[in-house]
């Protein structure tokens, strides 16, 4: 089976992640002598973790909250996907050189378009301006969507809007998370995407948008997958809106990472089945 290679998820927290089950199932299906583990890395230890991964020859890493932006300064180079998004969720160790990629945006876009068709010309309201939101924003705009971003900290949304205009030459609207402004923006939107961690376990009763703010022609996509049926999606159901959970994005961004590391086509069905089996034990 060849030399054992180790791959790692780093973040804080990483408990309950579906990625190890999903990735290890994929490695077995491809008959690769690889192993994938999740390691909690607090922010103050991020640089040490990256230095250690380089020194001991970790073959590749996934990066999750809260390190997707901060990790960039410890890498040797960035793929266009990461450079555009200004965030990294995948790292490849190429003979001691750590190269950063971003598969979040493409993973979310593929999953969304599988469910609703092309996003070109569709009005999308994106909640958040962090690492995942950045990547999704770039992918949506490159695919032709009309984008509005809502964020609690307007300065961060303005920074993202300026970055997008500089790199893509595209303008987008930004608004605050004020409920009245959100409701007005949602009334005009076709797709609502939550790219924040609001509603993630253990704070499962939190949501930025409630049923009275939505309409039945809305498509509501939550990238949170712990739990699968978030409060936002339950509220969307009450409003009669179509709902899409975060598992599809998780699987597709993971599949893209695997293809970067191995050069092999990812067994998506195997990965999704493994993630769904793990949900019964981990998320319930």
Residues forming a β-bridge with 63: 10
Based on the residue annotation, tell me whether 68 is a catalytic residue of this protein. yes
For residues 240 and 252, what is the distance between their CA atoms, to the nearest angstrom?
Answer: 27
Count of other CB atoms within 10 angstroms of residue 154? 16
Cα separations in angstroms, 182 against 152, 187, 188, 195: 11, 9, 10, 15
Q: How far is CA 103 from the centre of its chain?
A: 8
Which of 68, 123, 166, 269 is an active site residue?
68
For residues 159 and 180, what is the distance between their CA atoms, to the nearest angstrom?
Answer: 23
Q: Which residue, 10, 9, 13, is CA-closest to 202?
A: 13
Helices (H), the chain: 19-29, 46-56, 80-85, 104-116, 131-142, 154-168, 179-187, 231-238, 247-262, 268-282
Cα separations in angstroms, 231 against 111, 124, 150, 176, 200: 21, 20, 18, 21, 9
For residues 11 and 14, what is the distance between their CA atoms, to the nearest angstrom?
Answer: 6
221: tokens are 């996509």
Question: Which run of H or of E encompasses 36?
Answer: strand 34-40
Which positions are catalytic?
A: 68
């Amino acid at each position: 089976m060849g030399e054992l290679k180790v791959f790692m998820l780093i973040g804080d927290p990483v408990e309950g992640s579906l990625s190890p089950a999903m990735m290890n199932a994929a490695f077995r299906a491809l008959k690769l002598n690889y192993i994938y583990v999740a390691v909690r890395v607090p922010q103050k230890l991020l640089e040490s973790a990256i230095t250690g991964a380089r020194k001991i020859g970790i073959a590749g890493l996934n990066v999750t909250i809260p390190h997707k932006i901060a990790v960039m300064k410890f890498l040797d180079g960035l793929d266009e996907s990461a450079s555009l998004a200004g965030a990294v969720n995948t790292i490849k160790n190429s003979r001691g050189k750590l190269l950063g990629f971003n598969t979040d945006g493409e993973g979310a876009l593929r999953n969304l378009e599988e469910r609703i068709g092309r996003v070109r010309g569709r009005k999308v309201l994106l909640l958040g301006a962090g690492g995942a939101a950045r990547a999704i924003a770039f992918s949506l705009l490159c695919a032709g969507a009309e984008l509005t971003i809502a964020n609690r900290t307007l300065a961060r949304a303005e920074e993202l809007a300026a970055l997008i205009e500089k790199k893509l030459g595209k303008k987008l609207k930004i608004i605050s998370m004020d409920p009245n402004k959100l409701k007005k923006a949602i009334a005009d939107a076709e797709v609502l995407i939550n790219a924040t961690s609001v509603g993630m376990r253990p704070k499962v009763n939190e949501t930025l948008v409630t049923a009275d703010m939505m309409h039945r022609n809305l498509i509501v996509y939550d990238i949170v997958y712990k739990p699968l049926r978030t409060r936002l999606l339950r509220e969307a159901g009450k409003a009669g809106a179509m709902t899409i959970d975060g598992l599809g994005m998780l699987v597709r961004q993971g599949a893209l990472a695997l293809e970067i590391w191995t050069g092999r086509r990812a067994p998506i069905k195997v990965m999704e089945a493994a993630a769904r089996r793990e949900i019964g034990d981990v998320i319930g």
